[in-house]
């Protein structure tokens, strides 16, 4: 560790002790924050993993239904089916803050129907595909929300980890070593002062004794 460049005085010693106390308190708070962030991150990851598996499974089923519908329906009929959608989606985004981390929150308001086409020229597979796509849409947004949250949490965890490490491995040891160094310097000065005082007293006593003996 390194000794900080400060004058070895009592004022500096008191200031460094106060700074060390603050650094230790900050270190504890940052460790608690890091642990809280990691706990939140793991919960988000588990939820995102489960939701991703569900979304991928349902999207696969929806695409299978759409693929079957495409094979049994004329291309012009499919194009016509999607030309005039009745459904409308209003997407809102709100940003919350959790332990200094920005957490996105999507709100979805759907109006109208996913079925904007007639049933005569399409198959039941197309209906099934549309229902599945409609149902999975909100979960896709939730998955995006979770994955962005996980990304932001990971960034904050790394920043907090670096700050904890800097305090733990650099700042606090440097303060401790500097406090120890200044304390030793002041103790040495005190010993020198005591020795000097004793010498002066001894000289005064010798002088007084000499004056007494000469009378």
Give me the tens of pLDDT residue by residue for the chain, a chain 215 residues long: 578 788 888 898 899 999 999 999 999 999 999 999 999 999 999 999 999 999 999 999 988 887 887 777 666 666 666 665 666 778 888 888 888 888 888 888 877 666 655 555 566 777 787 778 888 888 999 999 999 999 999 999 999 999 999 999 999 999 999 999 888 888 887 776 677 777 777 677 766 666 666 65
Q: What is the tally of structural domains in the chain?
A: 1
The residue among 166, 180, 211, 146 whose CA lies nearest residue 34 is: 166
> What's the pLDDT score for residue 98?
82
Residue 177 lies in a domain: no
- Domain interval for residue 42: 28-161
pLDDT of residue 3: 80
Question: What are 161's two structure tokens?
Answer: 């980890």
pTM strictly above 0.85: no
Q: How far, in whole angstroms, is CA 126 from its chain's centroid?
A: 44
Predicted confidence at residue 156, as pLDDT, reads 94
Strand-pairing partners, residue 88, are 111
Q: Which CATH number belongs to the domain containing residue 100 in this structure?
A: 1.10.287.3240
> Does residue 198 fall inside a structural domain?
no
What's the angle, vertex CA 161, arms to CA 158 and CA 162, rounded to 5?
A: 90
* Residue 100, Ramachandran bin (φ over 0: left; ψ between -120 and 50: alpha; else beta): left
Question: Is residue 1 included in any domain, yes or no?
Answer: no
In a domain, 38, yes or no: yes
190 inside domain = no
SS3 32: helix
Position 202 in a domain: no
Q: Is residue 69 domain-resident?
A: yes
Q: Looking at residue 21, what is its pLDDT?
A: 95
136 found inside a domain: yes
Distances in whole angstroms, Cα of residue 148 to Cα of each of 59, 73, 79, 154:
21, 39, 34, 10
């Amino acid at each position: 560790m390194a000794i900080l460049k400060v004058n070895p005085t009592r004022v500096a010693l008191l200031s460094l002790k106060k700074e060390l106390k603050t650094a230790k308190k900050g270190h504890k708070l940052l460790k608690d924050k890091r642990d809280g962030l990691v706990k939140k991150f793991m919960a988000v990851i588990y939820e995102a993993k489960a939701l991703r598996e569900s979304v991928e499974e349902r999207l696969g089923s929806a695409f299978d239904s759409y693929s079957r519908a495409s094979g049994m329906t004329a291309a012009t009929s499919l194009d016509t089916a999607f030309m005039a959608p009745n459904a409308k989606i209003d997407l809102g985004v709100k940003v919350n803050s959790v332990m200094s981390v920005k957490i996105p929150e999507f709100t979805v308001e759907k109006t109208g129907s996913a079925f904007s086409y007639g049933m005569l020229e399409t198959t039941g597979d197309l209906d099934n595909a549309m229902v599945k796509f409609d149902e999975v849409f909100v979960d896709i947004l939730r998955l995006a929300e979770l994955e962005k949250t996980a990304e932001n949490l990971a960034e904050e965890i790394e920043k907090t980890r670096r700050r904890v490490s800097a305090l733990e491995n650099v700042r606090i040891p440097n303060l401790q070593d500097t406090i120890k160094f200044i304390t030793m310097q002041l103790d040495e000065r005190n010993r020198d002062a005591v020795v000097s005082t004793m010498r002066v007293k001894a000289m005064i006593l010798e002088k007084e004794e000499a004056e007494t003996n000469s009378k």
